[in-house]
Amino acid sequence: MNEKEKTPYVVTSKSYTAVAINAASKAGEWIKSRLGTVSELGIKYSPQDLVTEVDKGAEQMIRRLILTHFPHHAILGEEGVEPGPEASARALQEIQDEEYLWIVDPVDGTTNFVHGFPFFSVSIALAHRGEVIVGVIYDPSRDELFVAEKGKGAYVHGNRMGVSGEQELAHSLVAVGFPADPNYTLPINMAAVQALAPQVRNLRAGGSAALHLAYVAAGRLSAYTEIGLKPWDIAAGALLVAESGGTITDTVGTPYDLSVSHIVASNGKIHEALTGVLKEAKATGME
């Protein structure tokens, strides 16, 4: 066999972003076509933590597409990691030093997907030595594609996004989440809700971390906070928020990196007020 025959064929002249968009939109269309067909429901870490054959199928589809173009890149996908916090911390540790790491959530908002509530998305990020450089989130229910490249801004269907202008919590629409761990995270999230509700214009809990972040980037939400998330829930959305002029930190105000799981994302103007409320309510998850 000569050298040429041994080397696998690699499709060239495709940018990372184009590959992420292609994978997210293909997987998204497929997921949408499977709505209402879930026959077997798997329970991962708790009865609130669901997985379906659609999550697994979409992740497989995305992995194949990425590896077709970049066979030597590493991939951290939700369905490739054992359930539970220790396994995902370990997985992240193991691959954080990779030169190129794709971070994939094939269905963010699986509970919504299972119930036919049209608020779920495909989230794909690419990190270079631990820093997110591409973020793509696709919402197949509305055919909305959110794209960000490090240093180049964030766009929804080609239109530049920008965060909202609210200067005060009292004028802000703020999203929260109720993640799958009823023992540790739920009481803390409830404390956050109790403290925030009287201070903001209103609260929302849509059930997809990635879409909440995309909505902060698009100026549709003033802020979003949730604790107990995983890298694949946040990575793409974090870049969208940052490239739209927003702020994303952990719940005590430390800048976002891939290891952050308790997040506050906002238009920047209400960031300190929001982290202040969480601190006072002992709802940062870091007490």
Return binding residues for Mg(2+). Answer: 78, 105, 108, 233
CA dist., res. 246 & res. 215, Å (int): 11
* Residue with smaller CB distance to ligand 2AM, 69 or 212: 212
Instruction: Count Cβ atoms within 10 A of the Cβ of residue 49 and give its class: 0-12 exposed, 13-18 middle, 19 or more buried.
Output: middle
Interaction of residue 148 with ligand 2AM, rule CB under 6 A: no
Residues near Ca ion (CB under 5 A) are 78, 105, 107
Looking at residues 31 to 50 of the shown chain, list those that interact with ligand 2AM (rule: CB under 6 A).
Answer: 45, 49
77 touches ligand 2AM by CB under 6 A: no
Measured from the CB atom, is 117 or 178 closer to ligand 2AM?
Answer: 178
Pick from ligand 2AM, Ca ion, none: which does 207 bind, CB < 5 to 8 A by kind?
Answer: ligand 2AM
Contacts of residue 112, Cβ cutoff 8 Å, sequence gap at least 6? 118, 119, 120, 206, 207, 208
Site for ligand 2AM in 226-255 (CB under 6 A): 226, 228-230, 233
230 φψ region: left (φ > 0), alpha (ψ -120 to 50), beta (else): beta
Name all contacts of 154-161 with Cβ < 8 Å and 24+ positions apart: 154/217, 154/239, 154/240, 154/243, 154/244, 156/214, 156/218, 161/217, 161/218, 161/219, 161/240, 161/243, 161/244
Beta carbon nearer to ligand 2AM, 77 or 246:
77
Q: Which is nearer to Ca ion, 169 or 210 (CB)?
A: 210
209 in contact with ligand 2AM (CB under 6 A) = yes
Could you say whether residue 108 binds ligand 2AM (CB under 6 A)? Answer: yes
Q: In this structure, how many other beta carbons lie within 10 angstroms of the beta carbon of residue 118? A: 14
Tell the smallest beta-carbon distance from residue 107 to Ca ion (Å). Answer: 5
Using only the alpha carbons of the chain, give its radius of gyration.
Answer: 18
Query: Judged by CB, which is closer to Ca ion: 179, or 246?
Result: 179
Partner that binds at residue 164, options ligand 2AM, Ca ion, none, CB closer than 5 to 8 Å by kind? none
HSE of 244 in the Cβ direction (CA atoms, 13 Å)? 37
Interface positions with ligand 2AM (CB under 6 A)? 45, 49, 78, 105, 108-110, 177-180, 207-209, 226, 228-230, 233
